[in-house]
A and B are shown apart, each in its own frame.
Chain A
Amino acid sequence: MALLQIAEPGQSPQPHQRRLAVGIDLGTTNSLVAALRSGVSAPIADADGQVILPSAVRYHSDRVEVGSVAKAAAASDPFNTVLSVKRLMGRGLADVKQLGEQLPYRFVGGESHMPFIETVQGAKSPVEVSAEILKVLRVRAEAALGGDLVGAVITVPAYFDDAQRQATKDAARLAGLNVLRLLNEPTAAAVAYGLDQNAEGVVAIYDLGGGTFDISILRLTGGVFEVLATGGDTALGGDDFDHAIAGWIVEQAGLSTDIAPGEQRGLLHAACAAKEALTNADSVSVSFGAWSGELSRAHFDSLIEPMLQRSLKACRRAVRDANIEVDEVKAVVMVGGSTRVPRVRTVVGELFGRTPLTDIDPDQVVAIGAAIQADTLAGNKRNGEELLLLDVIPLSLGLETMGGLMEKVIPRNTTIPVARAQDFTTYKDGQTAMMIHVLQGERELISDCRSLARFELRGIPAMVAGAAKIRVTFQVDADGLLSVAARELASGVEASIQVKPSYGLTDGEIARMLQDSFQNAGDDKVARVLREQQVDAQRLIEAVQAALEADGERLLDAEERMVIDLQMQELSELMKGSDGYAIEQQTKRLSQVTDAFAARRLDSTVKAALAGRNLNEIEDN
């Protein structure tokens, strides 16, 4: 029985052993997948040589179309063709109505409060629609790279809240992707730009996409990308420019504002074409139906001015939050297709007092940066210093307190990962449960903030009112996702926590969708689950192998080492069979016996860093 061949840590693995990982930019208008190959990060093209995949999904009764073909049908089949689904991720039905635009879809409510779209294939949640786009990109990448993906880094707007991020992760899961990290789009762009230019100092990333706006201020110091502050607006983007022009057309053409869905799509399409034409012309002729007219760039600029001002206000706030002066910003980078609009470049240049940089294609820069991080996270060690991304939570996290007020627990722009504790007590004798309402936002009233979830704590030991001291720990991980733990301090009892997300899919809904996707893919569910268990087992074995090679001799005694080797051998054997349950159990067992070893390794790494020495030096002793 051959052991898996693992390259020694510190040496780059053979090409055929390289762990395949990609960066995915799941955009409002366009999506891309990129990968690092031969040291160069670049987007992966489809069979026709196109790198951009329009974020359009069309449901037929018997199949799903994704991309340009789907987009082209938007006007003729508005109910079944979903565009800009990113704007619906992590949102509720009420938000969708508030977005103000006339979305042509037929919405229905689900178990959760997410808006499901009624299509010819039944009700689809935005998460499922996004999964279709991700699936296409995954298949494209696997074909181009010649193998299964270890995982993907998927980018999200920096200003996305917890619900929007969780929805993105759920979509990736449905698409069969292992998410290595959810990466903020401006940070991804900073990586691409920073590594390209070997930049140091404070940079600003102005990211205006189809549906979202982000501004991030970062400090680059020798491979460490530290986000100082981030801001934005998840409902501001190029789509809004299109709507402004569409409104102008409706007015000029004397049309009624009650337009049929198909026509509305056609209208937005004409508006978008006009917007793009004005990038290189002073005026453009626009026609819609029987009407035609002339739109000047000057008038277009006046139509979008209020939106641009909103973005500049967010920029000024980010600069304040970063605790810097505007002139400390050494470079401003333009990201997102909408930054091609000349007026955008002008106003941003005016605010920062310098010409914005557009060296890297604004449509591709995010995916390119994500692919670089994906390669590192997948475990392909690089020579020299690996980049380190220190990101922040974009919105304050807090709790509902008496009187409908929001009390902040973790302020915005706090570096993540972060953990904060808050102590609570009971107010009735014998109280054994408690409900905590968590929100995100900056305002005082909870009605002005974003409800994230309600956490029900159960199993609090019954005591006299006020005697229990329950420490609730809020932890935000590197993906920007919140988890909550609670413990009664006197007794040490851990409370069990049931999470009820305000805008997320329920566990039941996800399970059903996963089931559907197995069936649609024609996979036998059992075979699929077995394969997942084998992949998990393999991953753990590889990780343990690498850990043993690095620190086994130094941190384990002979007996401990033997136990681990035995369990690993057992798992390798079981993996070859088809008893999924046994594989799962043995994976857990191996994980358990390597627990202490893992803890020792981490302590040792920290001590080494403290002592200011490189880990390699210690191994040489």
Chain B
Amino acid sequence: MGTPCHFALFDLQPSFRLDLEQLATRYRELARSVHPDRFADASEREQRLALEHSASLNEAYQTLKNAPKRARYLLALRGHELPLEVTVQDPEFLMQQMQWREELEDLQDSADLAGVATFKRRLKAAQDELNDRFAACWDESARIDEAERLVRRMQFLDKLSYEVRQLEERLDD
């Protein structure tokens, strides 16, 4: 069974810029039609199919909803699948990475909740900037190398925001 590309599933053209509201609305419409609940009184085969379709739909939605995942997916569609491990050949960014990490460690040691809030805001701003840069570069198909570099940076910041949430949880003790 061939799987349609995530974008096609939502009746969208592959692109980085996305109307998230529209995506959510379409998701809900599609979910209605394939959710196993709709087939609770149907045959076992239909139920199993519904389960598979729902899982695929959810996967597609999770991928498109999240900017770094969406960017990575777009690269994969063009035949440039990035491995998950971020082996960075990006000396310019390496410095920034180390700075982000050090700051996070300091915040943990000082248990500075207000500092964490500020850190989150700056992190979000940095992510927004990367998104803009990726959007700009994606429109020009020749700049694949830069696109890949940007996606790696996006992945790093995404992981960092997950770690910030973990820190918030630890500090909540």
Residues in chain A within 8 A of chain B (CB atoms): 19, 150-151, 180-181, 221-222, 224, 226, 313, 316-317, 320-321, 373, 376-379, 386, 388-390, 414-419, 475, 477-478, 539-540, 542-544, 547, 591, 594-595, 598-599, 601-602, 605-606, 608-612
Within 8 A of A (CB), among B22-38: 28-38
> What's the least CB distance linking A154 to chain B, in Å?
13
> What's the least CB distance linking A197 to chain B, in Å?
20
Residues on B with C-beta less than 8 A from A543 are: 41-43, 46
Q: How far is the CA of A389 from the CA of B169 in the complex (A)?
A: 28
Interface-located stretch among B55-63, B102-110, B135-143: B55-63
> What's the least CB distance linking A377 to chain B, in Å?
4
Q: Which of B29, B50, B172 is the one whose CB lies under 8 Å from A317?
A: B172
Count contacts on B: residues with CB < 8 A to the other chain: 36
A414 touches B37 (CB 8 A): no
Is B165 in contact with chain A by the CB < 8 A criterion? yes
B92-113: contact bitstring with A at CB < 8 Å (1 yes, 0 no)?
A: 0000000000000000000000
Is B19 in contact with chain A by the CB < 8 A criterion? no
Q: How far is the CA of A379 from the CA of B38 in the complex (A)?
A: 9
> What's the least CB distance linking B20 to chain A, in Å?
12
A544 touches B43 (CB 8 A): yes
> What's the least CB distance linking A214 to chain B, in Å?
18
A609 touches B33 (CB 8 A): yes
Residues on A with C-beta less than 8 A from B41 are: 19, 150, 377-379, 539, 542-543
> What's the least CB distance linking A248 to chain B, in Å?
26
A605 touches B51 (CB 8 A): no
Is B90 in contact with chain A by the CB < 8 A criterion? no
A547 touches B45 (CB 8 A): no
Nearest opposing residue in chain B for A373, CB measure: B37
Residues on B with C-beta less than 8 A from A386 are: 32, 38
B49 touches A540 (CB 8 A): no
Q: Which of B29, B30, B52 is the one whose CB lies under 8 Å from A419?
A: B52
Is B11 in contact with chain A by the CB < 8 A criterion? yes
Q: A389-B37, A602-B34, A606-B30 are in contact. Are A417 and B45 (CB under 8 A)?
A: no
A316 touches B53 (CB 8 A): no
A598 touches B45 (CB 8 A): yes
Nearest opposing residue in chain B for A547, CB measure: B42
Looking at chain B's contact residues, the main secondary structure is helix
A591 touches B33 (CB 8 A): no
Can you identify 26 A-B contacts, CB atoms within 8 angstroms?
Answer: A150-B41, A320-B168, A321-B165, A376-B37, A388-B35, A388-B37, A390-B31, A390-B35, A415-B58, A416-B58, A417-B54, A417-B58, A478-B37, A478-B54, A539-B41, A543-B42, A544-B43, A594-B43, A598-B46, A598-B49, A599-B49, A602-B34, A605-B34, A606-B33, A610-B30, A612-B11
A320 touches B33 (CB 8 A): no
Q: Which of B30, B40, B50, B62 is the one whose CB lies under 8 Å from A181?
A: B40
B40 touches A180 (CB 8 A): yes
> What's the least CB distance linking A82 to chain B, in Å?
32
Residues on A with C-beta less than 8 A from B46 are: 543, 598, 601-602
Q: How far is the CA of A418 from the CA of B59 in the complex (A)?
A: 7
Residues on A with C-beta less than 8 A from B169 are: 317, 320
Q: How far is the CA of A612 from the CA of B9 in the complex (A)?
A: 12
Residues in chain B within 8 A of chain A (CB atoms): 9, 11, 28-38, 40-46, 49-56, 58-59, 61-62, 165, 168-169, 172
Residues on B with C-beta less than 8 A from A373 are: 37
Nearest opposing residue in chain A for B36, CB measure: A478
For B41, B52, B62, which residue has the most chain A Cβ atoms within 10 angstroms?
Answer: B41
Q: How far is the CA of A190 from the CA of B45 in the complex (A)?
A: 30
Q: How far is the CA of A609 from the CA of B56 in the complex (A)?
A: 15
> What's the least CB distance linking A305 to chain B, in Å?
16
Residues on A with C-beta less than 8 A from B44 are: 591
B51 touches A475 (CB 8 A): yes
Q: Which of B35, B45, B49, B168 is the one whose CB lies under 8 Å from A478?
A: B35
Q: How far is the CA of A602 from the CA of B42 in the complex (A)?
A: 11
A414 touches B35 (CB 8 A): no
B59 touches A419 (CB 8 A): yes
Q: How far is the CA of A467 from the CA of B105 in the complex (A)?
A: 41
A316 touches B172 (CB 8 A): yes
Q: How far is the CA of A226 from the CA of B33 in the complex (A)?
A: 15
Q: A320-B168, A417-B58, A419-B59 are in contact. Are A591 and B31 (CB under 8 A)?
A: no
Residues on B with C-beta less than 8 A from A595 are: 45
Nearest opposing residue in chain A for B41, CB measure: A379
Residues on B with C-beta less than 8 A from A317 are: 169, 172
Q: How far is the CA of A450 from the CA of B41 in the complex (A)?
A: 33
Known: A415-B58, A605-B33. 10 other contacts (CB 8 A): A386-B38, A417-B51, A419-B56, A543-B46, A591-B45, A598-B43, A599-B49, A601-B46, A605-B34, A609-B32
Nearest opposing residue in chain B for A389, CB measure: B37
Q: Which of B32, B53, B55 is the one whose CB lies under 8 Å from A475?
A: B55
Residues on A with C-beta less than 8 A from B11 are: 610-612
> What's the least CB distance linking A5 to chain B, in Å?
16
Nearest opposing residue in chain A for B30, CB measure: A609
Nearest opposing residue in chain A for B39, CB measure: A602
Nearest opposing residue in chain B for A390, CB measure: B31
Q: How far is the CA of A608 from the CA of B37 in the complex (A)?
A: 18
> What's the least CB distance linking A479 to chain B, in Å?
9
Q: Which of B32, B49, B165, B168 is the one whose CB lies under 8 Å from A388?
A: B32
Residues on A with C-beta less than 8 A from B52 are: 419
The 5 A-B residue pairs with the shortest CB-CB distance in the complex, in nearest-first order: A379-B41, A377-B40, A419-B55, A609-B33, A417-B54
Residues on B with C-beta less than 8 A from A418 are: 55, 58-59
